[in-house]
Amino acid sequence: MLKVTIDGRTWEAEEDMTVLQVAKAHDIRIPTLCYHPALRPSGSCRLCAVEVASRSTGQPITMLACVLRVKDGMQIQTQGKEVQRARTKAFKSLLQMAPQAQSIVNLARSYDIDPGPPPDGCIRCHLCIRVCKEIVGPGALKMEKRDGRNYVVPLEGLCIGCGTCANICPTQVIRVEDRENIRTISIRDEVIGKHPLERCEGCGRLYATPRFLDHIHRRTASHTDVKSFHNYCPTCAKLFSDRIKSQSARPRK
């Protein structure tokens, strides 16, 4: 039997056992994802990093416990700065390949490794911020840094409920939900705006928010072609406009 020391405690081990096998036999926690006792270890996930002393130089080095065979007198550390650095790198690499894998996130946290912010679908293209400010006008969105990462966030009270930000978003992370007579516009779990909906005077369909209609009225009030203000949805507005044009084009008797 061989003797190996893991985290200051000495254990007996059989020849050809791996460090991971010895650790598991004595309930010593080492993270793994790709290991299975029925299969030959591959070290693919690279989570099982441990620190051992180099046989040639005596300097500590990190190696993978699932493929590292024990040697008599071996000194092994399952924790420490270098081990944590190696595991953090491995976790980050795995989360790049499987960002939605909650099992990896939970495992990382159980070893005091910050998996980073969860993916939110936003590619930080600024289109929603720019169209709201430069085209529509309210400027209801901004970019804000949180925990070292930029996020699109709402400016309270400025949304008019037009939904242009959702229409222009290339990844559809901004959502517009019309339920009964309420429109809710949100990004991730944050509400950008929540508004009642007005009915079209022509067909009766719920179609726009009062703040949006008021915004359009104020923006077009000085236009010479605007004679009166009506709450018509786009379909009815076009229908009535076409009828007026058709009547105007008829020859007078």
Q: One-letter amino acid identity for 68?
A: L
Q: How far apart are CA 208 and CA 192, in angstroms?
A: 16
Residues 6 or more apart in contact with residue 15 via CB below 8 angstroms: 2, 70
Say how many C-beta atoms besides its own lie within 10 A of residue 162's C-beta: 26
What digits encode the pLDDT tens for the residues 133-151? 999 999 999 999 987 889 9
What digits encode the pLDDT tens for the residues 175-225? 999 998 999 999 988 999 999 999 988 898 888 999 999 998 888 776 655
Please list, residue by residue across 178-202, b when 16 or more beta carbons sit within 10 angstroms of its beta carbon and e when fewer do: eeeeebebbbeeeebbebebbebeb
- For residues 77-102, give the mean pLDDT: 92
Given a contact cutoff of 8 angstroms between Cβ atoms, the answer to whether 177 and 183 are in contact is yes
Q: What is the pLDDT, as a whole number, of residue 240?
A: 72
Three-state DSSP at 243 gives helix
What digits encode the pLDDT tens for the residues 150-184? 999 999 999 999 999 999 999 999 999 999 899 99
**CATH architecture of the domain with residue range 2-110:** Roll (3.10)
Residues of the chain by 3-state class (helix, strand, coil), percent to 5:
30, 25, 45
Domain boundaries defined on the chain: 2-110, 123-196, 199-253
